[in-house]
Amino acid sequence: MLLNGQLADLSPMPADRLGEGSGRAVLRYRFPEWLVPAGPPVLLVPSPGVPARCYDLRRGGSLVEHVVDAGRLTYLLEGPAGPADPRAGAAQWAGEILPSVIRRVSSDAGGQPVQLVGWSLGGTLALLTAAADPSLPIASVAAIAPATGAGLPGTVDQIIAAGHGLLRAYHVLARIDDRDHLAQREALDRFAAALRAHPGRGLTESYAAYLGAALAGEEELSIGGREVSLARIGVPVLAIAGDGDRIAPPRAVRDLTLSMVSSPRVRFEIASGDHLGVLTGGQARTTTWTYLDRWLDEGILRHGLRPHHQEEAAAM
């Protein structure tokens, strides 16, 4: 670190913008020249109030990198956090923003249905989007630690901040020879700084509290002028909970899955980590990412192994 200023490779995965509208941009990640991605595209859904960088923390510890290297055409939505009013925000995300992006991604991928992957509120909103409009080209939804306000009060940045102070210094010294561990801590420090500076950082708790009450039937949940419930989801769903997650504890995530009575397939898994660690922690590679790989592979079996770029496929 003294020589180079950092240990972690924090450069983002290379991507191209599909276009922008109302401040929202969709990134399509580039893949190696020798690779022709095939099968349904993957759309990573951000969480309002949290930088989308969570999916791409660092080289060697990036879910984006992992999904792209597995040969999947991968997209990410970037954009504003949303309205301060959680009722209006949920309706806008699930009724306008995500449907528009899903259609754009499907069109860019040759008309194939889209596999949604969302973390925290992004997972919850992906589920609501599938429930609100069954006509959308959605192949499946993978919700990682879907936040519903059922856990203890607190936001993502408070959980990250718990790793600072004297205890943090002790862990750094105890693993001073573990380059990967130190690089991960460095990447988390950068993410925590971005989270503190994010203009919508205060939305996480209010959105989660509202959606938790709405899904429990205590608040009205209306999207596009229609009442919405998870019982209307008609696509396969994977839900993953972190065993140390206080915002979306395993029991709360499991309860969500029990309400998805119209889904043809619902799978519930418990992985290692807290709210962020379950997505991109050191053990996520052998738990969460493995579950997600298997799930996305099943999507290929259901929808076919069709190359997205016919010219490149012919050249290969």
User: Does the pLDDT of residue 310 top 50, yes or no?
Assistant: no
Instruction: Establish if 138 belongs to a structural domain.
Output: yes
Quick one: which H or E segment has residue 289? helix 288-303
Domain count across the chain: 1
Asked if residues 133 and 233 have their Cβ atoms less than 8 Å apart, the reply is no
Q: Quick check: 61 pLDDT over 50?
A: yes
Torsion of CA 65, 158, 178, 62, to 10 degrees: 0
Q: CA 198, 202, 208, 211 torsion: positive or negative? A: negative
pLDDT value at residue 91: 92
Residue type, 86: P
What is the C-alpha to C-alpha distance for residues 260 and 200, in angstroms, rounded to an integer? 30
Q: What is the mean pLDDT of the chain?
A: 84
The answer to whether residue 174 scores a pLDDT higher than 70 is no
Q: What is the pLDDT of residue 155?
A: 56
Percent of the chain with pLDDT over 90: 48
CATH code of the domain in which 104 resides: 3.40.50.1820
Cβ neighbour number for residue 292 with a 10 Å cutoff: 25
Residues 6 or more apart in contact with residue 269 via CB below 8 angstroms: 238, 239, 240, 241, 287, 288, 291
pLDDT tens digits along 78-122: 866 778 898 999 999 999 999 999 999 999 999 999 999 999 999
Q: What does DSSP say about strands 24-29 and 74-78: parallel, antiparallel, or unpaired?
A: antiparallel
**Distance, CA of 51 to CA of 194 (rounded, Å):** 7
Domain assignment present for 197: yes
Tell me what pLDDT residue 188 has: 83
Tell me the per-residue pLDDT of 1-43, one tens digit each, with 9 for 90 and over. 666 667 778 899 999 998 654 456 899 999 887 777 878 999 9
pLDDT for the residue numbered 150: 55
User: What is the arithmetic mean of pLDDT over 296-305?
Assistant: 87
For residue 93, give its domain range: 15-315
% of the chain exceeding 70 in pLDDT: 82
* Res. 165: pLDDT tops 90: no
Confidence (pLDDT) at 115: 98
Can you give the pTM of this predicted structure? 0.88
Within 13 Å, how many C-alpha atoms sit on residue 249's CB side? 9
Position 198 scores a pLDDT of: 75
Strand-strand pairing, 226-227 and 266-271: unpaired
Token pair of 198, please?
A: 């994010």
In a domain, 310, yes or no: yes
Query: Residue 212 above 80 pLDDT?
Result: yes
Nearest to 94, CA basis, from 104, 109, 82, 84:
82
Residue 298 lies in a domain: yes
Instruction: Give mean pLDDT, residues 163-167.
Output: 49
Q: Give the tens place of pLDDT for each residue, 258-296.
A: 999 999 999 999 999 988 899 998 899 999 999 999 999
